[in-house]
Structure formats: structure tokens, C-alpha cells
Amino acid sequence: MDKRLELQFQGFLATPPLWFKNDMFNLPQFEFPRVPLLSKEIILAGSPSLLTNFVLGKRAESFFDLALTHSDRFLIIAQNIQIQREKITLGEIDFLIEDTVKNRQLHVELVCKFYVYDPSFENELERWIGPNRKDTLLQKTEKLKQKQLPLLYKPETEPYLSGLNLQSDKLQQEVCFKANLFIPKNLKNKEFEHINHQCISGFWLHFEEFTETDYGRFQFLVPKKQDWSIDPKYGENWVSYSEIKESIGELFLHKKSPLLWIRTNRRQFERAFVVWW
């Protein structure tokens, strides 16, 4: 794939916030700046770890760093601050930021998630879960409210802030919560409560619904996880239905729900999770 790193960065920038302002969970949403697209050389100069660190969350942190560094509004004071008590890590503060437009200092926690909507749960907000059922939206927001944001006010954090000439009571706290959401095909016209509908980027289905009758004429690709946010139109090496079905079966053995890029014709593409559960 040509310009893969630039496309990953572009996909990160294009991923919408899950909500606006503080409409959900009383968690103020960070106002993401406008950022120019960057060349591979500039990206790697600013974050050389992208050559070796392929974890999706860490790549998002690098892209966030690059975005703010190349914005005309924000300055990064510090990032990834490990807070410890007697050699035991209590947690990590993602970013401490200077907002030069509003003349304020911020503690920002970054989250980038892929969720599917499972209607079998009774509560609306409980229905957004990870494609492998290992995490949920509510679990993440509770962790933000109960652990990650309160970390700023722990006594163990004070020495780090003092060294940066910062005071916890003068720092405002926000979250940059970006998300890609996938819904059942039969709910494509549903109005979902609370969430930003721009985050809906595809659908999900069970393996038995992935039939040759419905999908046999299309072409497919299983992108690597670090490429999940890239627009499928940039995909290469597309394969047939029979080939992708075999690949899905292998991933199911490890309880992995693959993300598929689907090419329905030369100019139309879709994203879908095929879930193992």
C-alpha cells in the first residue's frame, strides 16, 4: 500500500469524536485542531517509534502528538507520565497541553476505539462493545472517571507537576475520545441515542450470515489492525469470497473477530466485522 503511514495518520485525523462538548458521561470532549496532512518523512522525524511500535493505541498517541505539534493552537508540555507509588505503577497521564488560544493548560486522556452495537443488552449504552467482547464503552468511560482522570490529583503526581511548574487545581481535564462504530445491517436507519452518528463507519454480522449468496460476488481484504482506520479504497491484493472465508475461520479459532474491507465494485467499498460469538 502506497503511503501507508500517511494514510494511517489521515485515518486517525478523520475519525470523529464519539460525542461533542460534554454531552456524554459529563466528560468534556477535547476540541481537535485543524491539522495539515503530513508526509512520511515529517511523520517519522516527529515520531520514529512508528517504525517499530505497531500497537494501535500507541500509534494513536504518536499521531495525536504529531497533530498537536503541527497545529497553530496547542503545545505539548509532557506526555505518557508514569505515576508510581513505591515502584508500583498507579497509572499514566497521557498528555499535558498548553492551549495558546484560550490561554489555559489541559490534562487530556486519549481514547481510540472500535465498537459494535449488540442489541441483546437491555441498556442502550451497554450495547456498545468491542468486537471481541473484551471491553465496552461503559467500562472505558468508568475507567476514565474513576481512575485515569483522578490520577492528576494523587499525591504521587504532585512532584511531576511541580517539576513542570504546573498545579493540578489549575489544569482543566478533557478527553479526546475518537471512535468507529459498527451496527447490525438491519439497524442502518436507526437513530442511536447519545452518540455522534458520524462515527458509524460500517456494519457487523455473524459468520452464518456471511453467505455466498449475499457476498460471493464481492472482493475482500482483512487489514492489519494498525490499518483499521484507513479508507478501504486504498486497499490492495483483494481476494475472493472463498479465500476470505477460510481466513475468517482461522481467526475464529483464536476468538478474533476480523474487520473486513469489502469491494462491491471498482468505486464502492464497505467495512464490516464478522464476529466469532
Question: Could you tell me the residue ranges of all domains in the chain?
Answer: 4-182, 187-275
Q: Which runs of E-coded beta strand occur in 118-163?
A: 128-129
Nearest to 225 by CA among 136, 129, 132: 132
Strand (E) or helix (H) holding 40: helix 40-46
pLDDT at residue number 193? 85
Q: What percent of the chain has pLDDT over 90?
A: 91
- With 0-12 / 13-18 / 19 or more C-beta atoms within 10 angstroms meaning exposed / middle / buried, residue 146 is exposed
The stretch 163-172 carries a mean pLDDT of 97
Confidence class for position 23, pLDDT limits 50, 70, 90: confident
Q: Which residues make beta-bridge pairs with 181?
A: 115, 200
Q: Summarize pLDDT for 62-74 with one digit per residue, the tens.
A: 999 999 999 999 9
Q: In the beta sheet, which residues pair with residue 177?
A: 111
Considering only residues 201 and 24, tell me which one the structure prediction assigns the higher pLDDT.
Answer: 201
> Would you give the DSSP letter of residue 19?
S
Give all strands (DSSP E) within 15-159, no chain letters. Answer: 74-85, 88-99, 104-117, 128-129
DSSP run (H or E) holding 270: strand 268-275
Q: Quick one: DSSP state of residue 114? A: E
CA distance 251 to 248: 5
Closest-CA residue to 250 (of 215, 277, 276) = 276
The answer to whether 273 touches 258, Cβ cutoff 8 Å, is yes
Query: Which one, of 147, 24, 47, lies nearest residue 91 by Cα?
Result: 147
State the sign of the Cα–Cα–Cα–Cα dihedral 104, 108, 112, 118: negative
Estimate to the nearest angstrom the gap between the alpha carbon of 132 and the chain centroid: 15
Per-residue pLDDT tens for 84-129? 998 899 999 999 999 999 999 999 999 999 999 999 999 999 999 9
Sign of CA dihedral 114, 99, 67, 72: positive
Q: Note the pLDDT tens digit of each residue in 219-263.
A: 999 999 999 999 999 999 999 999 999 999 999 999 999 999 999
The 10s digit of each residue's pLDDT in 168-212 is 999 999 999 999 999 999 998 899 988 999 999 999 999 999 999
pTM for the structure as a whole: 0.94
The whole-number pLDDT of residue 53 equals 83
Of 33-37, 91-95, 158-162, 245-249, which gets the smallest average pLDDT?
A: 33-37
